[in-house]
Amino acid sequence: MSLSDDYLEYPKRAYGHDHAWFKWDMLRQRAPVQWPQGKRLAVWINVSLQHYPLDQQGVPFKVPNGMTMPYPDLRHYSLRDYGNRVGVFRVMAALAQAKLPATWAINAELAQINPWLVKRVAQEAGAEVVAHGWNMDTLFHNGMTPEEETQWLHRCRQLLSDVTGQSVTGWLSPARQQSWRTLELLADAGFAYCMDWVNDDMPYAVLPDRGGLHMMPLNTEIEDQFLMSNNLHSEDSWVQQVTDAVDFMLDEAAHLGSGRMLGISIHPWLVGQPHRVACLERVLAHLQAKPEVWVDTAQHILGHWREQQGPSRD
């Protein structure tokens, strides 16, 4: 039986990839990027402040590091809550001691439950607040209607803006879970960037024909939760892998003659533990000791990158 003439025809086939989420270009083929004061590596520290509901529903799946025992799973619930009661203040103290700003991805329900804490975090020097969904059990998925997703997006941003007084322009999905519509809805809602995808080492425009939304890839491989909680690596191994990444990207930037970017993701319920906070301090000291590293918020790094992009590339 012979194949029909149109068997190999595919309307979305194009050079590089077969979708319209973003334009195809290889990292080493892009125009060189220069960071302020000749810095070679732009780093933003993302601190995720999260609320895990005790009565987790697990739709469409149980979020990693959520409740795992029969209800009421008070052991895991109280461990996550430790980050918002104790660990967060150790993280803030470590950042303040190192004089480094942070980007804070915050579940909006936490701003409703504990507005004092969220206000306090937003008052830190250079702090930027990012919408991190409603809570760690409210995941975007294809079973939602567009109206439901849109309502959650606006509700989360509005509540965080009201509590912190900041104009919230960034988004990080709980568990980085999206529906097929999420990026379009973020663009329509006027968000400047999303941190869910991890397929690059630099910012890039998504849905370029729809608006000004960009992806700010937040590295998963060196995330404290991924390494220490999921992969069961030691605290010292986490420090080594983060500092190795920093040093490698500094060398790569020097070799290629173009700035590079790295997002470091941490969670107060993990690195805010008394036996781990010294490891966080070691990571921050490593950043502080590197004169070629520029540590700033995701918003400021994206803004500086966009200034250098021509109209055809942004």
Q: Which domains does the chain have, with CATH numbers?
A: 41-307 (3.20.20.370)
- Mean pLDDT score across all residues of the chain: 94
> 109-165: per-residue pLDDT in tens?
999 999 999 999 999 999 999 999 999 999 999 999 999 999 999 999 999 999 999
Q: What is the pLDDT of residues 166-224, one digit of tens each?
A: 999 999 999 999 999 999 999 999 999 999 999 999 999 999 888 799 999 999 999 99
* pLDDT higher than threshold 70 for residue 310: no
Residue 5 has pLDDT above 80, yes or no: no
Residue entry with tokens 């303040």: 96
* Mean pLDDT for the stretch of residues 286-309: 96
Q: What is the structure's pLDDT at 10?
A: 80
Q: Is the pLDDT of residue 37 over 60?
A: yes
Kind plus residue range of the DSSP H or E element containing 314: none
d(CA 40, CA 191): 27
pLDDT at 28 over 90: no
Tell me the mean pLDDT in the region 282-286.
Answer: 98
The per-residue DSSP string of 74-106 comes to HHHHHHHHHIIIIIHHHHHHHHHHHT---EEEE
Confidence (pLDDT) at 1: 67
Residue 3 has pLDDT above 60, yes or no: yes
Other beta carbons less than 10 A from residue 13's beta carbon: 9
CA angle 162, 265, 227 (to 5 degrees): 145
pLDDT class of 23 with cuts at 50, 70, 90: confident
Bigger pLDDT: 29 or 71?
A: 71
Is the pLDDT at 275 greater than 60? The verdict is yes
CA 287 to each of CA 63, 191, 292: distance values in angstroms, whole numbers, following the listed order: 31, 29, 9
Read off the amino acid at residue 15.
Y
pTM of the model: 0.94
271-289 mean pLDDT: 98
pLDDT at 239 over 80: yes
